[in-house]
Amino acid sequence: MNVIFTCGGTAGHVNPALALAGLMKERDTAVNILFVGSKRGMEGKLIEKAGYAFRAIEIDNFHRSFKVADIRHNLHTAALVVKTPRQARTVLEEFKPDLIVGTGGYASYPMVKYGAKAGVPTAVHESNMVPGLTTKTLEPLVDKVMVGFEACRQYYQHPEKVVVTGTPVRGDFFACSHAQARAKLGFVDDKPLVVSFWGSLGAAHMNEQMVDFIRAELSAGSPFHHIHAAGAAGYSKMQEALRDAGVDLAGTDVDLREYIYDMPNVMRAADLVVSRGGASTISELTALGMPSIIVPSPYVVNNHQEKNARVLEEAGGICLMLESESSGKALYNAAMEILGDSTKREGMRKAMLSLSVADATERIYHTVMALAPKAEKTEI
């Protein structure tokens, strides 16, 4: 069987495809897998590192701005509209897929669209609560739309196509227990661990708030261990801001990092996470049953991070704080309230687990494999 996975833009779009591809190979070593994405996205590096064949096509997104640079970008994107269909059809003719699975991002659009038009069974997976533009446009064409939560179904014009599968979470998040993960980090006391990170969109403003958060925790005698990832752009600025505030982290329980490279182990060791509300992060938090404080990024299309987080808030799994309402002190107070109430924390843990789909990869696998035998190929 020949299978095309198409995705791009962010790791959150690529990782579900990699998880499914891995399971397919595990079940059938003879399956031929090809990934298709954009020439300029990060998907190429991630996929080739995973050992799969990758085919790049020329496609780009449209910027929702009328600045000169964005207008030029959109004109370039419009010019690619002529090339992209021809490239997609070439891939279809040469690879002859029995199944096409899109897992998000504008780069997945052409292969799913032209594959569906050619009679190839197609499915898309949408990680966010509300479908993005690509998923919305492809919904009428595909055979199945796979989503993370039951509540997602209301946002689709064809709910009969929607299958609740959850979003796959990498297995290394469960490679060890909470206690073992703490031991790997060198923690020998009973202090809880708070882990915080903001991603890239709006991280500068949130890192400014974390300076006040850290000042508050140090003033209180460091009631918890704290690992914070400031990001490449924010790391040196945050160090400088802490110095300007008279804060010396040497010998404290605060571990300020540029990135958290060992994220599965760090999140497994955590007792509370403070973060944005991206789809991949939400999936990881629910799978781990992790009490969390979520400050959704207001800078994303369709405000999808807040919509993601509202599902968790309604279930009682998180404290949701809008960026316009948040501050270092408010975040610190919310963290202390959760950490200081074991009953509340246990309730949040159970609520998060109730939203997780432990066998998400398996569900997606069975959903897409049920499509392949039904194919009635037409000429491409």
Three-class secondary structure assignment of 278-334: CHHHHHHHHHHCCCEEECCCCCCHHHHHHHHHHHHHHHCCEEECCCCCCCHHHHHHH
| DSSP three-state, residue 124 | strand
Unique residue bearing structure tokens 């990024």: 297
Residue 61 has pLDDT above 90, yes or no: no
Rounded Cα–Cα distance for residues 310 and 221 (Å): 33
pLDDT tens per residue, range 196-232: 999 865 689 999 999 999 999 999 999 999 999 999 8
First and final C-alpha spacing in the chain = 18
Average the pLDDT over 364-371 and give the result: 96
The b-or-e profile of 15-52 (16+ CB within 10 A means b, else e) is bbbbbbbbbbeeeeeeeebbbbbbeebebbebbeeeeb
Average pLDDT value over all residues in the chain? 89
- More confident site: 133 or 4: 4
For residues 272 and 295, give the distance between their C-alpha atoms in angstroms, rounded to a whole number: 14
Give per-residue pLDDT as tens, 105-119. Answer: 778 889 999 999 999
Q: Are 351 and 94 in contact (CB under 8 A)?
A: no
Locate tokens 């780069």: which residue?
A: 107
Per-residue H/E/C for the chain: CEEEEECCCCHHHHHHHHHHHHHHHHHCCCCEEEEEEECCCCHHHHHHHCCCEEEEECCCCCCCCCCHHHHHHHHHHHHHHHHHHHHHHHHHHHHCCCEEEECCCHHHHHHHHHHHHCCCCEEEEECCCCCCHHHHHHCCCCCEEEECCHHHHHHCCCHHHEEECCCCCCHHHHCCCHHHHHHHCCCCCCCCEEEEECCCCCHHHHHHHHHHHHHHHHHCCCCCEEEEECCCCCHHHHHHHHHHCCCCCCCCCEEEECCCCCHHHHHHHCCEEEECCCHHHHHHHHHHCCCEEECCCCCCHHHHHHHHHHHHHHHCCEEECCCCCCCHHHHHHHHHHHHCCHHHHHHHHHHHHHHCCCCHHHHHHHHHHCCHHHCCCCCC
**Spatial distance between the Cα atoms of 230 and 252, rounded to a whole number of angstroms:** 17
Percent over 90 (pLDDT), the chain: 70
What mean pLDDT is predicted for residues 150-166?
Answer: 93
What H or E segment, with its residue span, contains residue 163? strand 162-164
Nearest to 83 by CA among 48, 110, 61: 110
Query: CA 175, CA 337: separation in Å to the nearest integer?
Result: 30
| 142 pLDDT more than 50 | yes
| Lowest-pLDDT choice from 26-30, 77-81, 83-87, 196-200 | 77-81
H/E element, 113: helix 109-117
Lowest mean pLDDT among 180-194, 262-276, 300-314: 300-314
Confidence check: pLDDT of 63 > 60: no
